[in-house]
């Protein structure tokens, strides 16, 4: 069984020691490196290719959000942000981090976040979604879903002419859907590639996806390469 590769990034040596110690109690884990600043973290992620990164938010030269912005979306590891301040929770959600640990955290909270991240690495993809429709709950086949939008801390599932609220974040949902079928086109939307009719490139070089029902959705620059790959393009940039 291959070991899960983990990188620890924190400018406080004691904080790195705590995380390393907690990971040391687990089997099947190898710490591929430790970094004390954001620039070194970017280099380590590119060179060591960790699967999971515990990433401090506040660092002197480049903070955790800066590290996330510097990484290509299609090759980014699963990230758990760590900070002493819960005020960064909304930014963590917007930056698509899987989880958010506030220091001092308990051992149970740490292991819950880690196991959630490890499950993301070997997912069993969902075939149906149980969504809310008034006072009812409806089971929707994922193949019928055209796209999914972030709606605060929930997700708005579009299927046919209807849309339904799912009490789950878009980032969490992304890890539970087959990436061969669903692609993140920007931080607020997932698209089912089977429902894409065309991809348009505007005069400004920006891309727009047109779904079979006529829905038009913009593709972010950060997500462009991943979207082109998902739609079958080769060598496109």
Which of 61, 95, 121 delimits the end of a domain?
Answer: 121
Name the DSSP class of 84.
S
Neighbours of 216 (CB within 10 A): 9
Number of domains, the chain: 2
51 and 8 inside one domain? yes
| pLDDT computed for residue 71 by the predictor | 84
191 within some domain: yes
Q: What is the pLDDT of residues 59-89, one digit of tens each?
A: 988 999 999 888 876 668 999 999 887 777 6
Rounded distance between C-alpha atoms, residue 66 and residue 89, angstroms: 15
The residue range of the domain holding 164 is 128-230
pTM: 0.58
| pLDDT computed for residue 101 by the predictor | 92
| pLDDT computed for residue 107 by the predictor | 96
| pLDDT computed for residue 1 by the predictor | 53
Rounded distance between C-alpha atoms, residue 75 and residue 79, angstroms: 12
The SS3 call for residue 143 is helix
Q: Label residue 62 exposed, middle or buried (CB < 10 Å: 0-12, 13-18, 19+).
A: middle
115 and 160 inside one domain? no
55 and 152 inside one domain? no
| pLDDT computed for residue 233 by the predictor | 76
- Parts of the chain with a pLDDT under 50: 237
| pLDDT computed for residue 47 by the predictor | 93
- CATH number for 45: 3.40.50.2300
38 within some domain: yes
Question: Which tokens sit at 207?
Answer: 């891309």
| pLDDT computed for residue 136 by the predictor | 86
| pLDDT computed for residue 90 by the predictor | 66
| pLDDT computed for residue 54 by the predictor | 97
| pLDDT computed for residue 74 by the predictor | 64
Rounded distance between C-alpha atoms, residue 61 and residue 127, angstroms: 43
138 and 217 inside one domain? yes
In contact, 186 and 218? CB cutoff 8 Å: yes
In contact, 148 and 156? CB cutoff 8 Å: yes
57 and 143 inside one domain? no
């Amino acid at each position: 069984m291959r070991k899960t590769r983990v990188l620890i990034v924190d400018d406080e040596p004691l904080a790195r020691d705590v995380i390393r110690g907690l990971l040391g109690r687990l089997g099947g884990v190898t710490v591929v490196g430790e970094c004390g600043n954001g620039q070194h973290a970017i280099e380590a992620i590119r060179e060591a290719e960790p699967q999971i990164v515990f990433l401090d938010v506040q660092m002197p030269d480049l903070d955790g959000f800066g590290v996330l912005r510097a990484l290509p979306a299609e090759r980014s590891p699963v990230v758990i942000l760590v900070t002493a301040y819960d005020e960064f929770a909304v930014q963590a959600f917007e930056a698509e981090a899987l989880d958010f640990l506030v220091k001092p955290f308990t051992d149970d909270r740490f292991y819950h976040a880690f196991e959630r991240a490890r499950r993301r690495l070997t997912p069993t993809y969902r075939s149906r979604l149980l969504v809310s429709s008034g006072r009812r709950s409806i089971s929707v086949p994922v193949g019928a879903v055209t796209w999914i939008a972030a709606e605060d801390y929930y997700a708005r599932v579009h299927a046919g002419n209807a849309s339904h609220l799912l009490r789950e974040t878009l980032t969490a949902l992304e890890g539970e859907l087959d990436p061969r079928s669903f692609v993140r086109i920007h931080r607020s939307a997932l698209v089912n590639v089977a429902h894409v009719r065309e991809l348009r490139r505007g005069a400004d070089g920006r891309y727009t996806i047109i779904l079979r029902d006529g829905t038009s959705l913009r593709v972010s620059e950060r997500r462009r390469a991943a979207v082109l790959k998902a739609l079958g393009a080769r060598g496109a940039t």
